Amino acid sequence: MKKRGKLLLMGLLAVSVFTLAACGNSNEQASDKKTLRVAVSAGPYNELFDTAVKPILEKQGYTIKGVNFSNMLQAEVAITENAIDFNVSQHTAYVNAFNKEKDAQLVPIVHIPTVPAGIFSNKFTSIQDVKSGAKVAIPQDPSNAARAFALLQKAGWIKLKEGIDPTLATKNDIIENKQNLDITMMDSSQIPRAMDDIDFAVLPGSIVYAASIDASKSLLAEDVVADLELNVVVNKGNETSQWAKDIVAAYKSDEFKKYMSEHNKDNYWVIPDELK
């Protein structure tokens, strides 16, 4: 029995060593893999990636597979589960909020071109047309709501508390509502459908794109601070992989700079400093 027990123990140890070795090889392959899965959601950001960045990576032997998601939350969860490798449609403030709420460890690896949020209206042609009691719709998710409040302050319609972090602003931070605005918080994807029933709306760039709204009709664009610039986002541990480094290099390449200089009509995109 003792001999059989020793043989069984040796067998288990051998299996364990083999398993650990296999895991090590798996991790090595993951770092150097050539097939990448990117989250795809409605908006111009995946289109920019497909048109200007994907070809650069394909020249290096990568195969890019898009995985469709109906909302950002699903895409972020998929990254944490390693069901996909990266996405290109979240800004730093959103990632930080997600990490805190979900106890996740998503990592932005490079700032990328961003379409600013703007104030739009189907009824008026200037922010000067605002009247007392005007109905204004803004996104309800915390990060986009904060940028909406900052934009309403830029328009001169409200005043926020001094010294607050503008990426964390909430309705409770409004200390003056000069126009007595009726501010309604909505799912951002639903706001375009309500445009005829309200006076003004704050729309993120992705929603402007998804709803086929003419971006040039923005009455006022936000000032894009660093925390509101979009990023390529990966799960912690993948930021040092070769494929992640190659994605960063593609966005910083002369080929990408040339594409943006030729296609950034009317400064539709805000280019982050690290890509200039």
Tell me the pLDDT tens digit for each residue of 100-129.
999 999 999 999 999 999 999 999 999 999
- Residue-range domains of the chain with CATH: 33-114+227-275 (3.40.190.10), 118-223 (3.40.190.10)
Q: Which two tokens stand for residue 256?
A: 């990408």
Mean pLDDT of 203-222: 90
Q: What is the mean pLDDT of the chain?
A: 88
- Cα–Cα distance between 73 and 101 in angstroms, integer? 11
Mean pLDDT of 11-16: 39
The pLDDT tens digits of the residues spanning 233-253 come to: 999 999 999 999 999 999 999
Binned at pLDDT 50, 70 and 90, residue 265 comes out as: confident
Binned at pLDDT 50, 70 and 90, residue 30 comes out as: low
More confident of the two residues 265 and 83: 83
Is 21 buried (19+), middle (13-18) or exposed (0-12) by CB count in 10 A?
exposed
- Cα–Cα distance between 248 and 60 in angstroms, integer? 13
DSSP the chain: -HHHHHHHHHHHHHHHHHHHHHHHHHHHHHHH-SEEEEEE-SSHHHHHIIIIIHHHHHHTT-EEEEEE-SSHHHHHHHHHTTSSSBEEEEEHHHHHHHHHHHT--EEEEEEE-BPPPEEE-SS-SSGGG--TT-EEEEE-SHHHHHHHHHHHHHTTSEEEPTT--GGG--GGGEEEETT--EEEEE-GGGGGGGGGGSSEEEE-HHHHHHTT--GGG-SEE----GGGSEEEEEETTSTTSHHHHHHHHHHTSHHHHHHHHHH-GGG-SBPPGGG-
| The pLDDT value given to residue 70 | 81
- Cα–Cα distance between 20 and 26 in angstroms, integer? 10
* Residues whose CB is less than 8 angstroms from the CB of residue 77 and which lie 6 or more positions away in sequence, other chains included: 102
- The pTM (predicted TM-score) of the whole model is 0.77
- Cα–Cα distance between 272 and 276 in angstroms, integer? 7
Of the candidates 200, 177, 237, 19, which has an alpha carbon nearest to the alpha carbon of residue 122? 200
Mean pLDDT of 35-57: 94
| Residue 16 in this model has a pLDDT that exceeds 60 | no
